[in-house]
Structure 1
């Protein structure tokens, strides 16, 4: 697997030899077993998605032609084209669908789906409007329009204006009229691509395409600086409405509809991937590109396309025909009625909104906030969207609605099974995202002590995010993965009723050990302080020491316990935050020096057997949905130096260049993309080895010139922005210089090769492998002993004239457990 233990992903080597036949078959069988069946009661029914079981006719036809590997490159709907083989099958299927869409004459072709078809439509529209003299072209659609429209506009470098959704949930001509008037006032010749929808994904509704077309006709007939192109996204309704509600005028019967997309792989019973792009005659030339090396003109987006897909679609158009589709979707509408009945039986106060002619049912549940339990949503693939709604008092507010797709593969048992599951899930009260109903602020005020300001400051300064979010109860043991534990299911601690408790610890007589102020201890539960995520000791605005419980020790990336010294890091520039991390047996694991803010820092990590320089490390907790969190660690450059015995000179092992640091990019993924913990990304990784006893001098060019082919080693520094990275070895130290590319800023990080071994000898801890056997006084005493030494280490690493040199300070004494006052370890 390409996912590495550190949370990043790299490529696998291409296999040199073939897997044995039986092993190959076994792997494929295992992966097939992970893909849900269509009619199995134990697998998800996908009630929230527009997808269905492919029809046997389509599967048979695709299999017949796939071995011949026909390429249907080009467009085959013109006179004289598409006369043989799968190209003839595509021509006949596309023209029949054009007739279904009430076109007298049309051109079109098969696409990979509506995303590609929308891109094709907006491309033709842009080029046609530019040919009409419009220097500016933009797209206007409803805010509820499918994301593929905004994506196509971005690809084509077009402006995109999303008109706010109103309680009607459709694109209203009056709103378009206002937008057109505003554009007219600019006094510039402007092309406007209007995108209407026939079957919104989240509501199933259809825009008043006939009224929008009439508006465009009136504006076109009047003196205007605007020119129009009208594209209809009929991905979800185009293969249903003609058979269930043929009077809904969404198609080419309207003079000012220019192009349209259908998705037969959704409601048309086709396997993925199959879409259809249609446009009026004479428009495809606006997307024509000559292909002289192949001897034809290409008017498509993708070029080569599968002829087997054309055969499959043809088999349904002519093998099912209108009669077959009509029977199929009328059955879906009957089943949708039954779905509404079982929902009302479980939630009599729910609001049900069936979409006219479509197989979609939109439901506003009467639960708190309209939420459904997480397990139910996950099993049935249900998605909720906040939509504008007029409440009983006539006020327009947002309300959460879930959409349900009743598709041809579904049966009465599917619907009745969902009804039973829904009734059981709603029997117990739930709050947002399926959690137990949260404690109100008034209830919390009477049951929980207020969180001290000092602890709030710790949340803002500690590098550890465990203060904020935790796994829910019953989902905390990683050994129970994947049955209960989830890498990405983190909840707000306060919402779980597990706010950290805080108590003052009796003052120590040793003011130096205590750090000059009172100590606090904190944990979710003082009755079992080491059994619920963590136990901590805090000297406000100075340091904290945390010991993790058994489950967190299994998961932790930084050991079983860690001391964080953040004194002065907020107030004094170039004072690092220092983390000292320990293994469960009390042995030193690593020291981390972080220069920067809490999130974004340049960092040095010191281990006994290695040194790691991190340039531009950016850590984030990401709210995925509701109060469900994940974590992301993005590092521009990581320099990994492995220390070996002896005095061997440095040797470059590997340079992995994942991306170009000079190109701007999004540091972290979008919220909806997080699936596992942790998620890591590196621009560049450089791996070296060197002997601990090496005292010679080796420069950057000697180390990297050949690997970088003469180019610079670049990274996005937290302090300097884009910077050249210049690692070298001199006098028993690793020295990493950073020079700002577009300025004069520079600094260097310098560390002794033997510092990790010294820290390993001097910074001993206490055994925490069985944390439930510890007493708070053990950890407090350890913290009091460790802090003065760690504070000297922190101060020794303060930036002085551009040099950051973590080292063992003169006069520092170790923190051995045997010397800890009051320790029972």
Structure 2
């Protein structure tokens, strides 16, 4: 066997004339996970994204070539009696895209209970960045409130809250927590809050994965008794695992009642990264955002169900709140920036504006409805599987499913209650049936890119041992044929695994 050439990552000039052609070809041949060539009917089941339309792709190239900076936020305007805006001064040369982005923000806010006169916002690098913007503003807003004990801020969310919430707590200095190993199940699910009592605290849920008002009240009373007076709640509309929706209106009513009774201050941020582009179009009367006075800010993600390219996070908040984090910038026209990213691409906001204008409300409604119909088909098929599964009942307005699938334990190879063996989910290594007794199951489900998370066996108890639940995102590129392939492969590999167990 010959010696392998040493690879170099030095930035250097090409040594061969055809070097750039090879690089261009490599870029051209980057595979799409949504339309795999080797397995055209074996599509990823857990990715919350889909291929872009030809219309969007056609407009992206020209925008990229213009290389426009959308720095700052552009919804700050004064309105005349007819509703026409007079925009605040922004960085020069980019006025057209600034006004287009403002229109896109206001059009989106119109289905979330907002108006141009009541909502500010901007497009950003994803849901994570938007959540962090909301938590940053929330911290500053809460810090304007009295706190004689100076205990800090408590942040409430559920175990299904997005991991960026925990990151945001640390980034904003509101607390430092950790996770420990459970002595019962050996999983790292034991939550250890900040030793000072501030920062992140988890709230129990109901069996559908929705925040429990009873558990929220229990957590609040505990922290209030400890002297805390400032609270942030990050509630979710469309959790990553189940698509569940926290009871936003009931949480808001609880905030209003508790504020009056105790004098505590609350900041409520809504993470609608996934369902912000689904619920308003199939359940327009359902209130979860700015229709509710207690909601201060919200996150929506355009690269999930908004038909936009990555990254397309969107931050929305009550008019004027962004001034709490505005920073003076002498060398930028307009002289301030109230966003985390600063410089950013104009691609997502301009394409969002284009889609909203061309497809309208009914176009997005059809886009969502088609996914929900596919989800219902998959739900029915999963419920009929001849193998042990628990299929969670989906939220009617969110095209996601959660399913627990537990393969039998095999000593030293796969533990009980840990889902599907890793060797089945990961690509098969270069082995042969003669040398590898697991050859026929290895990589069997790799093409589906299944992703799982923990869900407490007792959802009301955040410390209860979790079960492994797989998240299924049913997107526009899925087909009934792709579901057939997935279910056939799942049942086949389960039976193969049981044969291995019986021979062991």
Instruction: Name the TM-score class by shorter chain.
Output: 0.7 to 0.9
Distance 2:226 2:406 in 1: 46
Pick the aligned partner of 2:212 from 172, 188, 191. 172
Query: What does residue 320 of structure 1 align with?
Result: 359
The yes-or-no answer on 1:122 pairing with 2:124 is no
Pick the aligned partner of 1:108 from 115, 121, 138. 121
Pick the aligned partner of 1:335 from 346, 367, 374. 374
Q: Which has the higher contact order (CA 8 A, sep 6+)?
A: 2
Distance 2:492 2:341 in 1: 48
CA 1:438–1:256 in structure 2 vs 1: closer, same or farther (change >3 Å)? farther
Whether the aligned pair in 2 keeps the contact of 1:73 and 1:305 (CA below 8 Å) is yes
How far does residue 32 in structure 1 lie from its aligned partner after superposition? Answer: 4.2
Pick the aligned partner of 1:405 from 454, 460, 473. 473
Distance 2:388 2:11 in 1: 57
How far does residue 248 in structure 1 lie from its aligned partner after superposition? Answer: 3.3
The yes-or-no answer on 1:35 pairing with 2:31 is yes
Distance 2:299 2:375 in 1: 25
CA 1:164–1:294 in structure 2 vs 1: closer, same or farther (change >3 Å)? same
Distance 1:365 1:170 in 2: 21
The yes-or-no answer on 1:222 pairing with 2:238 is no
Distance 1:255 1:236 in 2: 22
Question: Alignment partner of 1:387: what SS?
Answer: strand
Distance 1:57 1:34 in 2: 21
Distance 1:129 1:18 in 2: 59
Distance 1:430 1:397 in 2: 25
Query: What does residue 501 of structure 2 align with?
Result: 437
Distance 1:397 1:180 in 2: 23
Query: What does residue 26 of structure 1 align with?
Result: 22
Whether the aligned pair in 1 keeps the contact of 2:272 and 2:301 (CA below 8 Å) is yes
Q: Relative to structure 2, which stretch is displaced further, 327-336 or 161-170?
A: 161-170
Distance 2:302 2:444 in 1: 28
Q: How does 1:167-566 map to 2 (within 5 A)?
A: 167-188=207-228, 190-224=229-263, 226-295=264-333, 296-347=335-386, 349-353=388-392, 354-365=394-405, 367-368=407-408, 369=417, 371-372=419-420, 373-374=424-425, 375-389=443-457, 398-430=466-498, 436-437=500-501
CA 1:175–1:410 in structure 2 vs 1: closer, same or farther (change >3 Å)? same
Question: Alignment partner of 2:295: what SS?
Answer: coil
CA 1:91–1:153 in structure 2 vs 1: closer, same or farther (change >3 Å)? same
Query: What does residue 78 of structure 1 align with?
Result: 76
CA 1:5–1:227 in structure 2 vs 1: closer, same or farther (change >3 Å)? farther
How far does residue 398 in structure 1 lie from its aligned partner after superposition? Answer: 3.8
Question: Alignment partner of 2:496: what SS?
Answer: coil
How far does residue 11 in structure 1 lie from its aligned partner after superposition? Answer: 8.4
Distance 1:397 1:184 in 2: 27
The yes-or-no answer on 1:59 pairing with 2:66 is no
Question: Alignment partner of 1:363: what SS?
Answer: strand
Question: Alignment partner of 1:427: what SS?
Answer: helix
Higher alpha-carbon Rg: 1
The yes-or-no answer on 1:96 pairing with 2:102 is no
CA 1:371–1:186 in structure 2 vs 1: closer, same or farther (change >3 Å)? closer
CA 1:161–1:37 in structure 2 vs 1: closer, same or farther (change >3 Å)? closer
Distance 2:26 2:130 in 1: 34
Query: What does residue 132 of structure 1 align with?
Result: 145
Whether the aligned pair in 1 keeps the contact of 2:269 and 2:298 (CA below 8 Å) is yes
Higher relative helix content: 2
Distance 2:8 2:359 in 1: 45
Which sections of structure 2, spanning at least 5 residues, go unmatched? 78-85, 89-93, 175-198, 409-416, 426-442
Distance 1:276 1:146 in 2: 16
Query: What does residue 14 of structure 1 align with?
Result: 11
Distance 1:250 1:18 in 2: 59
Distance 2:341 2:15 in 1: 32
Distance 2:270 2:249 in 1: 11
How far does residue 167 in structure 1 lie from its aligned partner after superposition? Answer: 3.0
Query: What does residue 48 of structure 1 align with?
Result: 46
Query: What does residue 200 of structure 2 align with?
Result: 160
Query: What does residue 795 of structure 1 align with?
Result: none
Distance 1:207 1:408 in 2: 25
Whether the aligned pair in 1 keeps the contact of 2:132 and 2:168 (CA below 8 Å) is yes
Query: What does residue 745 of structure 1 align with?
Result: none
Question: Alignment partner of 1:27: what SS?
Answer: helix
Q: How does 1:745-824 map to 2 (within 5 A)?
A: none
Whether the aligned pair in 1 keeps the contact of 2:208 and 2:244 (CA below 8 Å) is no
Higher relative strand content: 1
Q: Relative to structure 2, which stretch is displaced further, 287-296 or 133-142?
A: 133-142
Query: What does residue 770 of structure 1 align with?
Result: none
TM-score by length of 2: 0.78
Q: What RMSD, in angstroms, separates the aligned Cα atoms of the two structures? A: 2.7
Distance 2:449 2:354 in 1: 30
Distance 2:458 2:154 in 1: 31
Query: What does residue 752 of structure 1 align with?
Result: none
Question: Alignment partner of 2:290: what SS?
Answer: coil
TM-score by length of 1: 0.48
Distance 2:498 2:312 in 1: 40
Whether the aligned pair in 1 keeps the contact of 2:391 and 2:404 (CA below 8 Å) is yes
Whether the aligned pair in 2 keeps the contact of 1:62 and 1:311 (CA below 8 Å) is no
Distance 2:10 2:354 in 1: 41
Residues 688-710 of structure 1 show CA distances to partners (whole Å, capped at 9, x for unaligned) of: xxxxxxxxxxxxxxxxxxxxxxx
Distance 2:36 2:262 in 1: 61
CA 1:19–1:205 in structure 2 vs 1: closer, same or farther (change >3 Å)? farther
